[in-house]
Structure 1
Amino acid sequence: MITSTYDRCQYRQLVLDNGLNVLLVHDVESRKSAACATIALGHFQDPDACPGLTHLLEHMLFLGCQDYPAANHLADHLSLNGGHVNAWTGTEQSSFYFDALSNGFEEALAQFSAMLSTPLFDQNAIQNELKAIDAEFHMKKQDDLRRLYQVHKETCNPAHPFSKFSVGNQEVFGRFDTDTLQSMLRDMHQRHYYGKNMSLCLVSDLPLDAQEQLCRRHFSGIPIGQNTAPKAYPPLYLPDQLGVVLKIVPLKTARRMIVSFALEDIHQYYQSKPLNLISHLLGDEGPGSLLCYLKERGWATSLSAGGGIQGSNFKDFNINLQLTSSGAEHWQDILFSLFACIELIKEEGVSKWRFEERQKFGQMAFDFHDKPKAIDLASHLAVQLHYYPPKDLLSGEYLLENFSPELVHDLLGQMQPDNMRLKLILPEQETDKRAAWYDTPYAIQALPPALLQKLKSPPVIPSLALPLPNPYVHVRTSLHDVDRRYLTPTKLLEGESFSFWFCQDDEFKQPKGELYLSFDSSAVLEGAGLCAYKRIWTNMVQERLNEDFYQANIAGMHFHFYAHQGGFSLHTSGFSDQQFPMAEQMLRQVLSFDFTHEEFELAKAKQGQAMQNSLLNKPVNRLFNHLSVLMQPLSFALEDMLPIVETADFAQMQDIQSRLLASLHLEAFTHGDWPARQAENFATDLQQLLANRLHANALPRDVITLTDSYRLGVPCQGPDNAVLLYFQTPCADVSCIALTILVEQLLAAPFFNELRTEKQLGYLVGSGYMPYNQHPGIGFYIQSPNVEVEVLVEAIRQFLTQSPDAIAAMEEQDWQLLKQGIAKQLTSRDTSLSMRSQRLWLAIGNQDWQFDQPTRLAQQLLALSREQVLEFCQGLTPTKGFGSVLLYSQHARQAEPSLEGKLITNLLQFKAKANPIR
């Protein structure tokens, strides 16, 4: 098995006697153990009369099995052992995955195997879960991606299983009585859940021999099953479904253009990856690129190339563009420029040096990628087991082994106008059809023959040019010596408005690093107007950096320029060798940023559209957004900023940029493979560069005090109702934080079980530990398609009233196990350099300059008594309540619900009068 340079894991691939394909991963540094089982069963295998049956089967496997008949038995076990479980159903596969602390892993595997092997398919559980499936369907009716997906399904070959409705709902399942549904589920499970049709991946700090024993003990009982020949599918598209334009009207404000070319499955070419080079050249964002050309004309704001659906006999190659209003009018001109770029690639792009450059970047990405969490690694590799031979399981998606120019030219030759499907996703188009299930307005029309003919001979565009050799292709891979004085963050340089922290890495041993430059600007105290302009400005800066440093990004040096409460930040990451010079160049560009009218108008339109679309988010997301605005004095509601963005003025933007940059405070942190002298020199250069601007103090990150019980209605689109009940913990010391974390963990699983599984109040049901600016809090939320707000609120309050009794009745062993599990999670090792950097940076922001808060939290949590927890839970009830706020969805022409709490009628005024917690 090909492994990467810095991979310290051990691997073992085996096939059990029942045909189950297994990969075991021993990771001594893993924070948790994880498992994933992937089954070659997706909605393609749904009966024609019952679309969505595979999705229902996925849900049912969680609701009891022969040895563990209780619903959500595995989730309950994992909640006591620091883990969680989830699943998904795709076109041709279903996947189930979980993680747990290692001392709970064997029992979790036993339950996992049992739920996959011997589900009960209890009839009452089936009837109950149909409500959950239906609630999920209704939620997705407001999702533009799902609505677009359905149009795609309806306009492909109806004989291909891709055309099937994949989710299922009450209308579909209501055609069958429960006996019939139960029988169909059992039949589908028996026909597909067998060893040769499944893969399993375990990731754990347990030795490989121990993992193999567990695997054989718990999964050898899965039946061997019968090998069935893969089903041959017809072509995905009929001839009259190519060379067409699909006009689709979205719910959200969107102007998108997707050009799809219909290809055959290309997975067999994974060793040469011919589409990799084409995607790279079409998706380039540097000078001379197609995107640069379109931006200069004010037609597009972003472009990506290479996505698209794929399966066992098809692959769509997509070019996805975000358009401006002008671009929507010039869509034919955009098509001509796209085909001109394809012709340019045919003539100049398929060269050995370009392949070798992509090959080097693939090798670098493979050798130096961040190690994912155990659950993500297991989930990924369980899927890979269905596609790659053992040798290439880890490397198959990264490495390019064979240069095949004839194959690249063949695929470019298939990118013809008459093999194209053009999607125009625009408001206010004329349509004559409505997609089934999602009611999406659309039309499908053949593109005019004259246009298709012209596109076959597009005009030459002189300003289009393919990228030059990447100057960042050669990076230092040897490591600098480590100075043990800098193994925890240390201030290298400090001034009145400047501090620079430095930390070396001696654990992950990669030639990489992370740099955070966080600027507070006293100008943000001017309020919502300035913050609205700041969003436009940071968008313009990021777009310019994307263009100027695109090749650095391709070479593994990433960057992100973004707004935050106090000002703005630049975060760079990746290979350390040229990162400091790059960051300094970027900062010089920011300080002297000279933007054009065109850049301003593009960023203004893009930001305005993003805000308008956020207003159409699903209700529970809207509630979370408003809670964040409510709790933080320097945050502002989209409703307050959107009118300012829409009327923003170029000259005003220039003035605000000057004010933003006039008086700054900088907190900087760098962590990784740099020697201290290099970091000191960089810090000194920064301080000199900013000398005339460093005058401000760091802005306090205050939190609004909730002195009573409040309520706030939030205008929401779509029919679903949603509520979010948030409690602010009285203090923010380590004890209060530990209590809040422990109580949320105690309540999370029973809250989901009671309100989602048993009462079926909605599809989105959950709780969360929710601190704001370091101050702890806890929230409970539900989104429902058919239950009124008052009923949802009452259900939450009733659950909280009863929860102390359940905690008091908890077995002592489970009580101790849960505490130990949370403590282990708090103090577990970081799995990657970026995760370590993020944790240390957060500690600096929290002024945890001993960098030991997780340890102190774990110690405090282990010492908590049940009596302290029960007393805390009393604060979640109205009689002895903590400060709280209830947020709930409001719909047009809907009467104000009858709810407890003081009504907040004006968010800005409420925050202005409230006392902040400093």
Structure 2
Amino acid sequence: MPALTHPRPHTETLANGLRVTLRQVPGLKRSAAALRVAAGSHDVPLEWPGLAHFLEHLLFLGTERFPASQALMAYVQSHGGQVNASTRERTTDFFFELPTSAYSAGLERLSDMLAQARMNPHDQLREREVLDAEFIAWSQDPTAQQELALYEGLPATHPLRGFHAGNRDSLKVELPAFQQALKDFHRQFYRTGQMTLSLVGPQSIEELRVLAQQFAAVLPVGDKVEQAAPLPLAVKSYQQVGERSGNLLFAFEALPDSSAEALAFLCHWLNSAKPGGLLAHLQQQRLADGLKAVPLYQFAGQALLHLQFTTPAESFSAIREQFLDWLSFFAAQQDWAALREEYTKLRERQQQISGALQLARLDSEQREHGLSENGVVALKQILRDIGVVDNFSDHWHLPAANPFLRSSEPLANAGLIRGQTSAHRGLRTFAQDRSRGRRERSPMQFSQALPDHSDHGAIYLRWQTQAAAGTDLQGKLRRSLWETQEDARQAGVELAFSATGTQWLLKLTGLQEPMPSVLEHALKCLTQIDADSASAEAEAPLIPIRQLLKALPEYCLSSAVESNDVKQLWTTSRWDGLALGLNAQTQSAMGLALSRIPGTPDNQLPAATAINPQHLWSHIDTASSEHALLLFCPSASREIADEAAWRLLAQLCQTPFYQRLRVELQLGYAVFSALRQMHGQSGLLFGVQSPNTAPVELLGHVQQFLEGIPALIENLDEEDFNQQRQSLADQFDESHLSGKDASELLWQAKLAGHSSDYLAQLHTAIGQLERSTLLAAAQRLLNAEGGRLCLASESVPGAPWQATK
């Protein structure tokens, strides 16, 4: 296995006061930046709540040099990257990830928007309406309101009790005093001494330093401003008890600097569900079903620790006693040596599998990667402040070590496919890519489509069942994997299971060394479900648009009869699979797990049924006054040429769709469009959530936008068209694709019936797209040749739409 990424990045302060962290990770395909400004919602004048959040939004609206169509958001989207921002109590973060070739131009746009904010009155009025829609949705979201209510035990004068989101009433854009406050806030905090820039990529430290210096050169120079100290929290602890959950909150003052790492360490072990721990005991005693511990707030020595228990109200007093008893046991450990060692290992594993953006955001936090000696001191103070005692019950014990964090012994020479070396990359079908020693008709295909010299890999296992899993069975299947999923995640493997109609999928991505063991454990869990197994807990409610997104894959398949007889479903199922990027050692180590896969092996499973070329409408009751709509437009066929055209259409639509529905029409704050692949089917997906506009009206706006796509294509000059096409093609160049992204694309390619040189074919097909071909694709989109699927928070409106069964 390659050496771990060094846990500490290079740090320095530039001549103009900008603090930078620089991290070189040679294996990365992309580069990322995270810019933290030491100013947030609690730093604005009291008379202008929401000003910090409002400014964050305004900065994305473009500058004189880079108008909205060329600004950071549009630029990142056109290169297939990620971009976002977040305003918290005392910090504001801006972050993005791009292909390395486009990275410097992204940094140029970020620095320009921070330094040259346009902030004209017309933009402000328009963006205020967007924030007002966001506020309305937030105020009607039960989860958001529950989170807000957690602060009610604090003094009314503490800023945590204040209103900071911003809305039409608090953002007095028309007043000169507000405009002056906005300018003063930007001038005071958006300068070099108040910022930390974190850069991550495959570049050398010196190359990253040059980029940091170029970034800093255009920023206003200024010393760090001391942020005002908050008022005292004034309480030690308090509790809130509801019908099905209870909250314990502990407030701390005057904690040392290392308290953040100490609280993170404590919460990690509080959240452990392993035998001997707090949650396992509460479940055994039927006092609580779930526990989540998280620091809600940390600043200037203050902190607020939140523990949420899923429990009947009458059990809460007993829960508090058990919590303090377990905490006293935990405090009695000798500096937590074993737990610290495991915690450090899992933090290192998380860094090892993190992409550029995750690493950049981690570096901007500037925390230790484990629990340092100073962290031990801080943790002991936190435990004393909570009130631990010397005597406690003797039934507690430390959790068992994570089985997937132990490195396995190297296997004997496992060999490669006959006649191949790890460098050999012939053009083969997925069915031809198999490990030596396995029968040629083996349904588990060990593909050579990705290099096997990386420490990352992916495994996909698919079952075709005779019936769909009922809701109760789906909950049991998911619950059976929880402990294995958490152990796997800590060891660097993301484990996911879905039962969508008659298509069941088990997916492992991440570090390949633990994968054989993780797979074996997962299969054991999934096949030991019985009638007495506990059902899954009720999940926290999602906002309407997320409810629709969660439901979408199910509605992309034909409906099926449901069953809760898990043994019968496993016995009569047929399965196949795909493994990507695995070296010979990992392939050989999978032998035991593969022998335990339930069902009948079948290397000729049929593709999932495509959406009918009809207008299908599914009503999803979101239990919200907010309206939401998803429109999925499948491609006319599963041919790679059609997919290439649909992908370019999606790229061209992304920014104009957002600009039209969110900025110009101000329909809501959740507005997006993208290409999605489900069950091997590519399609354009448009989504809107709106506080006031009904789904039928939203659909009308989306349809109107679709009708303008041909003009959008025709109005591109030749240079812009070629640039858009090249930008899209570059996203599918092997040098730009992460192993995880490439694996998912290849899995979808297998489902669609393509060969394992799909990525090369797609890259070529995109590069060969002509304007006339794209216009023809747009016309097929308008004609709905691939059909339409609409999910909405309202019933079917009538012809041409048909309600799904």
Sort the TM-score into its range (normalised by shorter chain). Answer: 0.7 to 0.9
Specify the alignment match of 2:573 in structure 1. Answer: 664
Whole-angstrom distance in 1 between the partners of 2:554 and 2:649: 25
Q: How does 1:338-377 map to 2 (within 5 A)?
A: 338-347=323-332, 350-352=333-335, 354-363=336-345, 365-366=347-348, 369-377=351-359
- Greater alpha carbon shift after TM alignment, 37-46 vs 489-498: 489-498
**Deviations, residues 188-233 of structure 1 (Å, cap 9, x unaligned):** 1111111101122333455554544444344313222244334222
Whole-angstrom distance in 2 between the partners of 1:836 and 1:885: 27
- Greater alpha carbon shift after TM alignment, 726-735 vs 199-208: 199-208
Specify the alignment match of 1:532 in structure 2. Answer: 471
Specify the alignment match of 1:700 in structure 2. Answer: 606
The answer to whether the 8 A contact 1:725-1:781 is kept is yes
Query: Does the C-alpha gap of structure 1 residues 18 and 98 become closer, same or farther in structure 2, counting only changes over 3 Å?
Result: same
- Alignment match of 1:741 (pick from 624, 647, 671): 647
| Displacement of 1:516 | 4.4
SS of alignment partner, residue 716 of structure 2: coil
- The reply to whether residue 182 of structure 1 matches residue 187 of structure 2 is no
SS of alignment partner, residue 262 of structure 1: strand
Query: Does the C-alpha gap of structure 1 residues 311 and 339 become closer, same or farther in structure 2, counting only changes over 3 Å?
Result: same
Whole-angstrom distance in 2 between the partners of 1:836 and 1:69: 33
The answer to whether the 8 A contact 1:508-1:833 is kept is no
SS of alignment partner, residue 666 of structure 1: strand
- Alignment match of 2:196 (pick from 190, 196, 199): 199
Give the letter for the 2:123 counterpart. Answer: A
The answer to whether the 8 A contact 2:464-2:575 is kept is yes
The answer to whether the 8 A contact 2:636-2:780 is kept is no
Specify the alignment match of 2:661 in structure 1. Answer: 755
Q: TM-score under structure 2 normalisation? A: 0.87
Give the letter for the 1:200 counterpart. Answer: L
Whole-angstrom distance in 1 between the partners of 2:341 and 2:718: 57
Identical amino acids, percent of aligned pairs: 22
Q: TM-score under structure 1 normalisation? A: 0.77
Give the letter for the 2:759 counterpart. Answer: P
Q: How does 1:783-794 map to 2 (within 5 A)?
A: 783-794=689-700
- The reply to whether residue 331 of structure 1 matches residue 329 of structure 2 is no
SS of alignment partner, residue 171 of structure 1: coil
Whole-angstrom distance in 1 between the partners of 2:501 and 2:67: 49
Give the letter for the 2:200 counterpart. Answer: V
- Alignment match of 1:854 (pick from 759, 766, 772): 759
| Displacement of 1:748 | 0.9
Specify the alignment match of 1:465 in structure 2. Answer: 397
| Displacement of 1:142 | 2.8
Specify the alignment match of 2:170 in structure 1. Answer: 172
Specify the alignment match of 1:721 in structure 2. Answer: 627
Specify the alignment match of 2:246 in structure 1. Answer: 257
Specify the alignment match of 2:303 in structure 1. Answer: 315
Whole-angstrom distance in 2 between the partners of 1:823 and 1:269: 46
- Alignment match of 2:133 (pick from 117, 132, 135): 135
| Displacement of 1:257 | 2.4
Whole-angstrom distance in 1 between the partners of 2:409 and 2:737: 20
Specify the alignment match of 1:798 in structure 2. Answer: 704
| Displacement of 1:722 | 2.7
Give the letter for the 1:904 counterpart. Answer: Q
- Greater alpha carbon shift after TM alignment, 580-589 vs 756-765: 580-589
Query: Does the C-alpha gap of structure 1 residues 340 and 270 become closer, same or farther in structure 2, counting only changes over 3 Å?
Result: closer
Whole-angstrom distance in 2 between the partners of 1:134 and 1:72: 26
- The reply to whether residue 77 of structure 1 matches residue 75 of structure 2 is yes
**Deviations, residues 462-507 of structure 1 (Å, cap 9, x unaligned):** 6443335666664248798785637475245667995233369966
Q: How does 1:435-584 map to 2 (within 5 A)?
A: 463-467=395-399, 474-476=406-408, 483=415, 485=420, 487=422, 489-492=433-436, 499-502=443-446, 509-510=454-455, 515-522=459-466, 524=467, 527=468, 530-542=469-481, 546=484, 559=495, 562-566=498-502, 568-571=504-507, 580=516, 583-584=519-520
Query: Does the C-alpha gap of structure 1 residues 556 and 119 become closer, same or farther in structure 2, counting only changes over 3 Å?
Result: closer
Whole-angstrom distance in 2 between the partners of 1:724 and 1:405: 49
- The reply to whether residue 412 of structure 1 matches residue 412 of structure 2 is no
The answer to whether the 8 A contact 2:557-2:611 is kept is no
Larger Rg: 1 or 2? 1
Give the letter for the 2:553 counterpart. Answer: S
SS of alignment partner, residue 373 of structure 2: coil
Specify the alignment match of 2:428 in structure 1. Answer: none
Whole-angstrom distance in 2 between the partners of 1:69 and 1:590: 52
SS of alignment partner, residue 246 of structure 2: strand
**Deviations, residues 720-750 of structure 1 (Å, cap 9, x unaligned):** 2233333222211001110111101111111
Give the letter for the 2:290 counterpart. Answer: S
Whole-angstrom distance in 2 between the partners of 1:513 and 1:80: 28
The answer to whether the 8 A contact 1:123-1:179 is kept is no
SS of alignment partner, residue 310 of structure 1: strand
- Greater alpha carbon shift after TM alignment, 399-408 vs 52-61: 399-408
**Deviations, residues 324-350 of structure 1 (Å, cap 9, x unaligned):** xxx433222222222221232234xx1
SS of alignment partner, residue 292 of structure 2: strand
Query: Does the C-alpha gap of structure 1 residues 274 and 704 become closer, same or farther in structure 2, counting only changes over 3 Å?
Result: closer
Give the count of matched residue pairs.
791
The answer to whether the 8 A contact 1:60-1:129 is kept is yes
**Deviations, residues 519-553 of structure 1 (Å, cap 9, x unaligned):** 4333x2xx5xx43343133135225x55xx97777
| Displacement of 1:575 | 6.5
Give the letter for the 1:202 counterpart. Answer: L
Whole-angstrom distance in 2 between the partners of 1:668 and 1:735: 26
Whole-angstrom distance in 2 between the partners of 1:765 and 1:318: 32
Query: Does the C-alpha gap of structure 1 residues 104 and 178 become closer, same or farther in structure 2, counting only changes over 3 Å?
Result: farther
The answer to whether the 8 A contact 2:194-2:225 is kept is no
Give structure 1 stretches of 5+ with no counterpart: 250-254, 389-395, 418-455, 642-651, 891-895, 909-918
- Alignment match of 1:7 (pick from 5, 8, 14): 5
SS of alignment partner, residue 170 of structure 1: coil
| Displacement of 1:508 | 5.8
Whole-angstrom distance in 1 between the partners of 2:211 and 2:620: 50
Whole-angstrom distance in 1 between the partners of 2:587 and 2:105: 48
- Alignment match of 2:558 (pick from 615, 633, 636): 633
**Deviations, residues 669-692 of structure 1 (Å, cap 9, x unaligned):** 55567645x7447436743x569x
| Displacement of 1:635 | 6.8
SS of alignment partner, residue 443 of structure 2: strand
The answer to whether the 8 A contact 2:680-2:749 is kept is no
Specify the alignment match of 2:792 in structure 1. Answer: 888
**Deviations, residues 862-913 of structure 1 (Å, cap 9, x unaligned):** 11111111122223436x76522444332xxxxx79x6742424x22xxxxx
- Alignment match of 1:245 (pick from 236, 239, 243): 239
- The reply to whether residue 774 of structure 1 matches residue 680 of structure 2 is yes
Whole-angstrom distance in 1 between the partners of 2:309 and 2:604: 40
Specify the alignment match of 1:88 in structure 2. Answer: 86
Give the letter for the 2:238 counterpart. Answer: V
| Displacement of 1:856 | 0.7
| Displacement of 1:295 | 1.9
Query: Does the C-alpha gap of structure 1 residues 721 and 746 become closer, same or farther in structure 2, counting only changes over 3 Å?
Result: same
| Displacement of 1:299 | 3.3
Specify the alignment match of 2:371 in structure 1. Answer: 400
| Displacement of 1:260 | 2.2
SS of alignment partner, residue 299 of structure 1: coil
Alignment RMSD, CA only?
3.8
Whole-angstrom distance in 2 between the partners of 1:568 and 1:679: 23
The answer to whether the 8 A contact 2:545-2:628 is kept is yes
Query: Does the C-alpha gap of structure 1 residues 873 and 94 become closer, same or farther in structure 2, counting only changes over 3 Å?
Result: same
- Greater alpha carbon shift after TM alignment, 107-116 vs 815-824: 107-116
Specify the alignment match of 2:671 in structure 1. Answer: 765
